[in-house]
């Protein structure tokens, strides 16, 4: 698959979970702006230091920082799976100058389901694998199946930050569904189902152009 794809959806919709599998099974470059930012924060780079406060509050990092970070990583490449980007109209317009988009998968899930998923999420700080204590638990006592590292909870998965992330999503990112629908690129997927069902629905939609 040499398409450029965007994954859109609220916090906890399962963007990262779907992206990891789609990318590894179809040779796509997985670009999660959230993962890149967390790595920059962990390494205390100049970008990480500027981004940290926004992320801790559940706010969006300024568009110009995000756009230059994305451009640097994807310019001249194809077969990119954008996860969590774009998130504002300005980012969507900026993306048009960086890479042409073939399809936008919109993962739809209700807020209660998403909040439950985020509260039980654990991640591996070393390799980035994502788990869920309820739906996708690690085999051994909160340790990563791949590399054995002790799993952690993301700082922004605390209840008050989750609530803020939802408000920000509704105000700044949800309107992008309409933006891409008007361009004829939007594929709606019911993401309230199991990861296997979501993956199968996404594949079907990408192959047949129907959800």
Binding site for ligand AP5 (CB under 6 A): 9, 11-17, 33-34, 37, 54-55, 58-61, 66, 84-85, 87, 91, 117-118, 120-121, 130-132, 135-136, 156, 165, 191, 193-195, 198
Q: Is residue 154 among the annotated active site residues?
A: yes
Distance in Å, CB of 144 to ligand AP5, minimum: 13
For 26-64, letters b (16+ CB in 10 Å) and e give eebebbbbbbbbbebbeeeeebbeebbeebeebebbebe
Instruction: Give the DSSP letter of residue 84.
Output: S
> What ranges in the chain are assigned the alpha helix state H?
15-26, 33-42, 46-57, 63-74, 89-98, 111-119, 159-168, 175-182, 195-208
| 116 CB neighbour count, 10 Å cutoff | 14
Q: Which residue among 15, 38, 117, 122 is the active-site one?
A: 15
Q: Which is nearer to ligand AP5, 31 or 206 (CB)?
A: 31
Q: Which is nearer to ligand AP5, 135 or 149 (CB)?
A: 135
Distance in Å, CB of 148 to ligand AP5, minimum: 19
Chain residue whose CB lies nearest ligand AP5? 34
Distance in Å, CB of 46 to ligand AP5, minimum: 16
Q: Is residue 183 among the annotated active site residues?
A: no
Q: Is residue 15 among the annotated active site residues?
A: yes
Instruction: Give the DSSP letter of residue 155.
Output: G
Q: Which residue among 38, 52, 117, 121 is the active-site one?
A: 121
Distance in Å, CB of 209 to ligand AP5, minimum: 22
CA distance 95 to 84: 13
Interhelix angle 195-208/15-26, rounded to 10 degrees, is 60
CA distance 132 to 31: 21
Q: Which is nearer to ligand AP5, 2 or 152 (CB)?
A: 152
Q: Which residue among 38, 52, 87, 122 is the active-site one?
A: 87
Distance in Å, CB of 103 to ligand AP5, minimum: 17
Q: Which is nearer to ligand AP5, 2 or 132 (CB)?
A: 132
Angle 75-98-174 (CA atoms, 0-180°, nearest 5)? 130
Q: Is residue 164 among the annotated active site residues?
A: no
Q: Which is nearer to ligand AP5, 2 or 42 (CB)?
A: 42
Q: Which residues are catalytic?
A: 15, 87, 121, 154, 165
């Amino acid at each position: 698959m040499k398409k450029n794809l965007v994954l859109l959806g609220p916090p906890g919709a399962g963007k990262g979970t779907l992206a990891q599998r789609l990318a590894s099974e179809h040779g796509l470059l997985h670009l999660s702006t959230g993962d890149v930012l967390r790595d920059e924060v962990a390494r205390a780079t100049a970008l990480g230091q500027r981004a940290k406060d926004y992320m801790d509050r559940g706010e969006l990092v300024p568009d110009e920082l995000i756009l230059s970070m994305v451009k640097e990583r994807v310019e001249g490449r194809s077969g990119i799976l954008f996860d969590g980007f774009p998130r504002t109209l300005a980012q969507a317009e900026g993306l048009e100058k960086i890479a042409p988009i073939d399809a936008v998968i919109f993962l739809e899930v209700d807020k209660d389901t998403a909040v439950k998923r985020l509260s039980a999420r654990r991640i591996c700080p070393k390799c980035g694998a994502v788990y869920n204590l309820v739906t996708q638990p690690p085999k051994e006592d909160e340790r990563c199946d791949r590399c054995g590292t002790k799993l952690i909870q993301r700082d922004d998965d605390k209840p008050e930050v989750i609530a803020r992330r939802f408000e920000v999503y509704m105000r700044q990112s949800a309107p992008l569904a309409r933006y891409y629908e008007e361009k004829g690129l939007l594929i709606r997927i019911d993401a309230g189902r199991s990861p296997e069902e979501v993956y199968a629905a996404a594949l079907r939609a990408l192959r047949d152009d129907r959800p």
